[in-house]
Each structure stands twice: as C-alpha cells, then as structure tokens.
C-alpha cells in the first residue's frame, strides 16, 4: 500500500499493519479463563490477532492485562472535519497594535475557575502578568483590562462581574472532569446566560487540559483551548473576534 494513501490504519512496523496496544483490568480471577475473557473482550471490539502479552493478578478478583492486537478499521484522512479556531496567531506587540489600530479601545476580560474547581494554575497562566512558557499573560497587555476572579467561583457571580465590567469576553477554566462535572457546570453557565438574554454580549472562551475546541463549541462556547495554550493565542483570538463583531455591527 502506498504511503500517501488516504485510508490509514495504525502503524507498528509495516505500513497499515493496524497494530495497537491496549491495557485494562477485568473483574475476574487471574487464570486461563481470565486470559480468554480478555481475548473475547477485545474481539468484541472487532480486534484481530489478539495477543495477551501480560496478565497480572491485582487480587480481590481483578486481573490486569496488556494486549497487542490488530485494529482493522480505516480512517479516511480526506474526510476528517475538525473545527479550528479561526484566528491568526499574533505576538504580544502585534496584538496590542491590532487593538489600538482597529478597535481603538481597551478590551475587557473576566476569567474564573468555576464551580468547585480550584485549579487556578492554568487560568493564571493565561491571565496573570507572568504568563506561560515565555509569553506574557493578559494582565500585562496594555490593551487589556483583565479581571481574574480565581477559584471556585459560582456561575452567577462570574456573570454578575462580567456584566458589571462590561466585559468583551468571559474566560472559564475547568480542570476537574471527574464524572463529567465540567459538562454539567458549563452547560448550566450557558443556560443562565441564555435565560438572561446575555449570550451574545460576550465572547465565551473555555480552557483546560481536557478541553478541545470541538467540545467548547458543543457546549455553546465560542472557543476552547487545551493543554499547552499560550496567552498570546488567546489574546489573538479575542481581539480578532471582537473586531469581527465590531465590523458586523457597523
């Protein structure tokens, strides 16, 4: 098969051999039956050439498995459609100039870790002076008025603050995703905004290590930023989005 084929599969050591690695635990006592159970479990996923290469007794009736197998399904790379943030990445200086030249006023952003989330490091990385990975945070930008409300902020309080400061954008960080708590929390946030007729007042930006742009859109946000986001990427997005809104309104 050719390398530039559009139909791809996993690659172990031969093009499209489909080789993948799995590990999981089954609630079954270690033994030949357990090994067979692992094989059946994998075969129900449509896997082929299943090799249970390791079994470990975790006691209390649990067994851990490492498996190699062939996943004989294809991805058509021509048909991958993924929403992307439509903003050109600019530098600190470019962004400030852009806002000065095109929007001609300061932008205001309000950010928080909402609900019971107390992981402030990610939000701080975007908002605080210090910034992240060599990039200044939004507080440092002369063209941004930045309000960082910190951790465990109730949705209502955040909205109140955004209204009060006449914010252009609301930034939410969600790190804890256990039992999909973030989905619940974020859905509620958008519902309140909509109920109050405020949804279109703000650009809604979501961030966190388990957040994708896709998910953010699904939840009714305008953009989502994941692991490794740098402040200038967020600032680029917000300023271009505000300008776009401004253009549309004129």
Partner 1 sequence: MALKLDLDQQLIDSCREYTSEIADEIGKKISKNTTTSVERTVLRLLGVDGVDQHGIPLPNVIVEKVKEAGELEKGISYWFGNALLETDLSVQSLAEEISKDNVDLLNIPRRDQKEVYNYIYNLAKEKAAGIKENVEKRNELMGKYPPGPQPWLYVIVATGNIYEDVKQAKSAARQGADIVAVIRSTAQSLLDYVPYGPTTEGFGGTYATQANFKIMRDALDEVSKEEGHYVQLVNYCSGLAMPEIAAMGAIERLDMMLNDAMYGILFRDINMKRTFVDQYFSRMINAYAGVIINTGEDNYLTTADAVEEAHTVLASQFINEELGLRTGLKKEQLGLGHAFEINPDIEDSFLMEIAQAQLVRQVFPDAPLKYMPPTKYMDGDIFKGHLMDGMFNVASIMTDQSIQLLGMLTEAIHTPFLQDRALSIENAKHVFNSARALSHEITFKADGKIQKRADQVLEETAEILKEISDKGLMKSLSEGIFGDIKRPMSGGKGSDGVVKKSSEYFNPFIDVFKEELKIDAEGR
Catalytic residues: 130
Tokens 């994708």 correspond to what residue?
Answer: 212
**Contact region for partner 1 (CB under 8 A) — 14-22, 182-190, 193-201, 233-241?**
14-22
Which phi and psi (to 5°) does residue 20 adopt?
Answer: -130, 160
Tokens encoding 196: 């109050």
Please select the residue that binds partner 1; options are 121, 157, 214, 244, rule is CB under 8 A.
121
Q: How far apart are CA 149 and CA 179, in angstroms?
A: 25
* Ramachandran quadrant class, 7 (left: phi over 0; alpha: psi -120 to 50; beta: rest): beta
**Contact region for ligand B12 (CB under 6 A) — 29-37, 40-48, 125-133, 191-199?**
125-133
Nearer to a copy of itself, 137 or 207 (CB): 207
Whether the CB-CB separation of 171 and 110 falls below 8 Å is answered with yes
Specify burial of residue 68 (Cβ count, 10 A radius: 0-12, 13-18, 19+). Answer: middle
Tokens encoding 249: 């309104």
**In the bound complex, what is the minimum distance in angstroms from residue 213's beta carbon to a copy of itself?**
8
Q: Which does 207 bind (CB under 5 to 8 A by kind): ligand B12, a copy of itself, partner 1, none?
A: ligand B12
Residue 229 binding ligand B12, by CB under 6 A: yes
Q: Angle of helix 181-195 relative to helix 155-164, nearest 10 degrees? A: 40
Please select the residue that binds partner 1; options are 40, 86, 227, 244, rule is CB under 8 A.
227
Nearer to ligand B12, 119 or 161 (CB): 119
Residue 51 binding a copy of itself, by CB under 8 A: yes
Nearer to ligand B12, 77 or 91 (CB): 91
Q: Which does 171 bind (CB under 5 to 8 A by kind): ligand B12, a copy of itself, partner 1, none?
A: ligand B12
Hey, which residues does 101 pair with through a beta bridge? none
List all residues 6 or more positions away from 43 whose beta carbon is below 8 Å from its beta carbon: 50
Whether the CB-CB separation of 189 and 149 falls below 8 Å is answered with no
Q: How far apart are CA 242 and CA 167, in angstroms?
A: 11
Q: Which does 1 bind (CB under 5 to 8 A by kind): partner 1, a copy of itself, ligand B12, none?
A: none
**55: three-class secondary structure by DSSP:** strand
**Which residues bind to partner 1, rule: CB under 8 A?**
11-15, 19, 21, 23-25, 51, 53-54, 56, 58-60, 62, 64, 66, 68, 116, 118, 120-121, 152, 176, 178, 181, 209, 227
**Which residues bind to a copy of itself, rule: CB under 8 A?**
3, 8-12, 15-16, 19-28, 32-33, 35-37, 40-41, 44-47, 51, 61-62, 71, 73-75, 77, 80-82, 84, 210, 212-213
């Amino acid at each position: 098969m050719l390398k530039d084929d559009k139909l791809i599969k996993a690659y172990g050591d031969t093009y499209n051999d489909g080789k993948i690695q799995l590990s999981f635990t089954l609630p079954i006592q270690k033994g030949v039956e357990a090994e067979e159970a692992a094989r059946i479990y994998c075969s129900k996923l449509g896997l082929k050439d299943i090799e249970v290469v390791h079994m470990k007794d975790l006691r209390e009736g649990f067994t851990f498995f490492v498996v190699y197998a062939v996943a004989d399904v294809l991805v058509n790379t021509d048909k991958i459609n993924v929403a992307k943030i439509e903003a050109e990445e600019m530098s600190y200086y470019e962004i400030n100039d852009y806002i000065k030249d095109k929007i001609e006023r300061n932008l205001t952003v309000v950010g928080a870790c909402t609900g019971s989330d107390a992981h402030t490091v990610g939000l701080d990385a975007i908002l605080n002076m210090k910034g992240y990975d060599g990039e200044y945070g939004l507080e440092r930008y002369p063209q941004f008025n930045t309000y960082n409300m910190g951790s465990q902020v109730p949705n209502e309080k955040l909205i109140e603050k955004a209204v009060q400061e006449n914010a252009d954008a609301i930034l939410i960080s969600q790190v804890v995703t256990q039992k999909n708590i973030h989905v619940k929390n974020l859905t509620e946030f958008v519902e309140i905004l909509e109920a109050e007729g405020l949804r279109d007042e703000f650009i809604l930006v979501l961030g966190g290590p388990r957040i994708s742009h896709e998910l953010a859109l699904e939840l009714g946000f305008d953009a989502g930023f994941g692991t490794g986001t740098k402040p200038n990427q967020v600032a680029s997005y917000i300023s271009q989005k505000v300008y776009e809104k401004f253009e549309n309104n004129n």
